[in-house]
Amino acid sequence: MKIIHLILGKANPERMNGVNKVVHALATHQSRAQWDVEVWGITPDVAVNYPAREFTTRLFRASRNPFQLSRLLETALTEVAAEGAVVHLHGGFIPAYYSAAQLLKALGVAYVMTPHGAYNAHALRKNHLLKRLYLSCCEHFVLRNAAVVHCLGQSEVQGVQGLLPELKTCLLPYGYEGEAGGGQPGPVPHDSFRVGFCGRLDERSKGLDCLIAGFGQFAEQLPDAELWIIGDGPDRDRVARWAARLPAGQVKLLGSRYGADKKALLAQLDVFAHPSHYEGLPTAVLEAAALGIPCVVTEATNLGSYIRDFACGQVLEAAQPEQLAAGLHRLHEQCGGTGQLEFRQRCRTMVATAFAWPTLLLNYRLMYDRAYHAA
């Protein structure tokens, strides 16, 4: 069975695009397990300007009409119909997927759909009327004809069932694997208490106003605390203005960082904060936890149950500054002395246990088999 991941973009892990990062990781581990897997990207720029990878990538030029597939992509999808392929669509409210779903249905090719947080109630409030119209005209077709709707967390299951209760869903997270051997940096001694965030600077989804306001409340009682914000995005200027309300030097905007540079910064944190309004499954939290950094997350990250089960952080009901400040205070109290070492071990155990790729790949194989036989 051939697995084809269809995405917008190039699955470049060195970009501030969570979907592209997780698809890169998923395809990499499927390839290592000797799966027949490819990533097909729809992109305005078909230049190969990404690092070497372990799986085949095919790029198709995006059309000016967002609903139109390029002829090359139509031909490619038609050709794989005879190969026993399952196509995996990543993302919601993507017009090109409506056209792809129509073609795949006509060809009798099974496809899996992962919304990556697109159907969370908070996400649906933006452009509400337009999204409702698109849902009824296009998105419902994509969902109803998917062999399986793959959900990364419970909030996605609830979002999907809120739209179409009869849909078949599969709840299955992505895995995470740190560098082998001694590649993970250890704790870096420092005097201040450092809280960090890493991700796309997009207030609509990431709760950045809550992050800065909540940290500010926390820092009123701990003036030597620092907030490190790693990343870039459309709301960078807004974030800078919010940060300027706090005492000079308390908030550091560090820009986009990747690879070893990013991990070296994460290793210097005491707590990682991710107060998202909605998510699929934020890999930045797993990156921090794999380094032994306790995390403060909202339920909307879909990681709350794991954080609670392994006792490696605090879970907020919603992205509210008061809740974030209280969570940071609790972790500050708990991380003193030997508590920090215990937290570090529990964080690493969570990642190694709940997000181990070898186990998860068995479940992905079952999901694709289910989709294939449903076609």
Per-residue pLDDT at 182 exceeds 70:
no
Distance, in Å, from the CA atom of 94 to the CA atom of 72, rounded to the nearest integer, reads: 19
Per-residue pLDDT at 190 exceeds 90:
no
Distance, in Å, from the CA atom of 350 to the CA atom of 117, rounded to the nearest integer, reads: 22
Angle at 53 between CA 232 and CA 73, to 5 degrees: 85
Mean pLDDT score, 100-128: 91
Per-residue pLDDT at 188 exceeds 70:
no
Q: Residue 171's CB: how many other CB atoms inside 10 A?
A: 13
Q: Which token pair is 85?
A: 């392929």
Q: In what order do the strands lie in the sheet with 2-8?
A: 56-61, 36-43, 2-8, 85-90, 110-114, 148-151, 169-171
Mean pLDDT score, 125-149: 92
Per-residue pLDDT at 140 exceeds 80:
yes
Query: Using CA of residue 287, residue 294, residue 170, residue 102, what is the dihedral sign?
Result: negative
pLDDT of residue 108: 96
pLDDT of residue 278: 87
Q: Which runs of E-coded beta strand occur in the chain?
A: 2-8, 36-43, 56-61, 85-90, 110-114, 148-151, 169-171, 194-198, 226-230, 251-255, 271-274, 295-298, 313-316
Alpha carbon of residue 230 to chain centroid: 16
pLDDT of residue 122: 77
- For residue 55, give the nearest of 79, 16, 88, 15 by alpha carbon: 88
- For residue 281, give the nearest of 214, 205, 196 by alpha carbon: 205
Per-residue pLDDT at 68 exceeds 50:
yes
The pLDDT > 70 percentage for the chain reads 96
Q: Residue 120's CB: how many other CB atoms inside 10 A?
A: 25
Per-residue pLDDT at 192 exceeds 90:
no
What band does 189 get if pLDDT is binned at 50, 70 and 90?
Answer: low
Mind listing the pLDDT tens digit for each residue in 336-355?
766 788 999 999 999 999 99
Q: In what order do the strands lie in the sheet with 194-198?
A: 251-255, 226-230, 194-198, 271-274, 295-298, 313-316
Q: Hey, what amino acid is at 107? A: L
Per-residue pLDDT at 150 exceeds 60:
yes
Per-residue pLDDT at 180 exceeds 60:
no
pLDDT of residue 336: 72
368 and 1 in contact (C-beta within 8 Å)?
yes
Mind listing the pLDDT tens digit for each residue in 300-336?
999 999 999 999 999 999 999 999 999 999 999 998 7
Please name the residue that has the structure tokens 């690493």.
Answer: 348
Mind listing the pLDDT tens digit for each residue in 361-371?
999 999 999 99
Q: Hey, what amino acid is at 33? A: A
pLDDT of residue 289: 96
Per-residue pLDDT at 187 exceeds 70:
no
Please name the residue that has the structure tokens 């890169």.
Answer: 24
Query: Using CA of residue 115, residue 372, residue 85, residue 34, what is the dihedral sign?
Result: positive
299 and 315 in contact (C-beta within 8 Å)?
yes
Distance, in Å, from the CA atom of 375 to the CA atom of 366, rounded to the nearest integer, reads: 15
Per-residue pLDDT at 109 exceeds 60:
yes
Mind listing the pLDDT tens digit for each residue in 221-239?
999 999 999 999 999 999 9
- Helix (H, G, I), strand (E, B), or coil: what is residue 109? coil
Q: Estimate the crossing angle of helix 338-354 against helix 283-290, to 10 degrees.
A: 130
Mean pLDDT score, 112-137: 88
The pLDDT > 90 percentage for the chain reads 82
Mean pLDDT score, 113-131: 86
Delineate the domains of the chain, giving CATH numbers in brackets.
Answer: 2-175+356-374 (3.40.50.2000), 194-354 (3.40.50.2000)
